[in-house]
Every structure is written in C-alpha cells, then in structure tokens.
C-alpha cells in the first residue's frame, strides 16, 4: 500500500509580505457585497409578496433609525425590523429559487 508522509514545503512567497491593505480590501469587498445584495433584492422586489414585506420592514428599520435622533429608545426598533426583513427575505428566496440563494 501507499504511505502518507509529512514533507516540509517552503512558503511560496518566502519572506515577502502580503500587499493587501486590510481597510481598502474590506471597504471594497463590503461595498461590493452590499451592492450585489440590493441588486438581487430589487430584481425580485415586485415579483413576490414576501419580498415586498421584507422591503417594508427594511425601510421601517431605517425609519426607526432616523426617528431615534429625536427619541433614542426608537433605536430598539431597528434591529427588530431588520431581523424581520432578513427572515422574510429568506422565505422569499426559498420560494423563488427553491432553496439557498445563489449569491
């Protein structure tokens, strides 16, 4: 039979350091993910009651966030609304694509 053996391998880059700048990387990837998420959501918005409800809760969350400027206790509504928006979005995507989203 064959035997598996551990062999030391020198790092591909040796002593070089990565040129990736974390702040720039996360800013660009984060913005890309936000744009793609909203593009996908808007594409399906008018085709599903679930997506319309999700959008309603999403916007209501923003409303609570703005209203919290006057009444800070309103900030409690933001995560609740966004959680509901997320749950409704998952239901809508399950019904639209028959399972997990492809994004």
**pLDDT single digits (tens) 10-62:** 777 777 777 889 999 999 999 999 998 888 777 777 877 888 898 899 999 99
Whether 103 maps to a domain, the answer reads: yes
Whether 60 maps to a domain, the answer reads: yes
Whether 62 maps to a domain, the answer reads: yes
Whether 95 maps to a domain, the answer reads: yes
Domain that holds residue 80: 50-103
How sure is the predictor about 6, in pLDDT bands with cuts at 50, 70 and 90? confident
Distance from chain centroid for Cα 18: 26
Whether 59 maps to a domain, the answer reads: yes
- For position 17, what pLDDT does the model report? 78
What is the reported pTM? Answer: 0.57
Domain tally, the chain: 1
| Mean pLDDT to the nearest integer, 80-100 | 82
Query: How distant, in Å, are the alpha carbons of 5, 12, 37, 94 from that of 34?
Result: 45, 33, 5, 20
| Mean pLDDT to the nearest integer, 71-75 | 94
Whether 97 maps to a domain, the answer reads: yes
- For position 98, what pLDDT does the model report? 60
CA atoms within a 13 Å half-sphere pointing along the CA-CB vector of 24: 3
Whether 56 maps to a domain, the answer reads: yes
Whether 87 maps to a domain, the answer reads: yes
């Amino acid at each position: 039979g064959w035997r598996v053996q551990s062999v030391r391998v020198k790092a591909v880059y040796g002593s070089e350091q990565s040129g990736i700048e974390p702040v720039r990387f996360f800013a660009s990837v984060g913005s890309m993910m936000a744009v793609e998420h909203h593009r996908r959501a808007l594409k399906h918005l008018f085709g599903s009651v679930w997506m319309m409800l999700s959008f309603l809760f999403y916007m209501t969350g923003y409303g609570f966030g703005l209203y919290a400027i006057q009444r800070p206790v309103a900030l409690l509504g933001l995560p609740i609304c966004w959680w509901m928006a997320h749950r409704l979005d998952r239901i809508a995507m399950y019904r639209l694509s028959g399972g997990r989203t492809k994004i």
